[in-house]
A and B are shown apart, each in its own frame.
Chain A
């Protein structure tokens, strides 16, 4: 069965420091992985997806099939990055399975 694990519930970093939010998954098929973000008092929204290989707001994530990981990284954290981040696995194209989320706080 598919499963997404985010080991850190809370993560605090100083502004300008690098940040890495961890995500591991288990899925027998070919996975599609995503990161979703929820800023304070806003709805959940897509941050990035692995198939796009894009950098959004300075964040990148590389799918490592050997380690079954999809960690989210940013070299220099900003205060506006403080939010709840969810790693998600998509099956059948549009059904999502989410991790428990990591609350990131960037300290000024």
Chain B
């Protein structure tokens, strides 16, 4: 299994500011995924981050709002830009298992509150 560390685990931010969430994996992985879980909602895939190329965003998510970096095979960041209260969510980093491409491992999540 992969061990995923996310930082920060939680934060309270002022509207209009940006927050960068870091995701560190203990092994090299090809694809990393970022999810959002709004209060009372399901996990929603934001984007897929591949090393060496631009992230692929799902419908409803854009790079200007959620820029992603993937500088190497063990690390990625997600920035939530120009935050508003509607961005208050849990943000989760995920990687696919190397053993079984269909199993996903998740970080503990970043609980973001925008005031």
Give the interface of A toward B (CB within 8 A): 4, 32, 34, 43-46, 49, 51, 86, 90, 93-101
Contacts and interface: CB of A to CB of B under 8 A. Distances in A.
A83 B40 CA distance: 15
Given A34-B102, A93-B96, A96-B94, 17 more contacts: A43-B4, A43-B107, A44-B92, A45-B105, A49-B102, A49-B103, A86-B43, A94-B31, A94-B33, A94-B104, A95-B33, A95-B45, A96-B33, A97-B45, A98-B43, A100-B41, A100-B42
Nearest to B94: A96
Contacts of A100: 40-42
B92 A93 contact: no
A49 to B, nearest CB: 7
A44 B92 CA distance: 10
B57 interface: no
A98 B96 CA distance: 15
Given A43-B108, A44-B92, A90 B102 contact: yes
Question: Does more than half of chain A's interface fall in helix, strand or loop, or is it mixed?
Answer: strand
Interface residues of B, number: 22
Interface in B1-41: 4, 31, 33, 40-41
A19 B64 CA distance: 45
A98 B42 contact: yes
Contact of A45 (B41, B42, B96, B106): B106
A94 B45 contact: no
Contact of A96 (B4, B40, B41, B104): B104
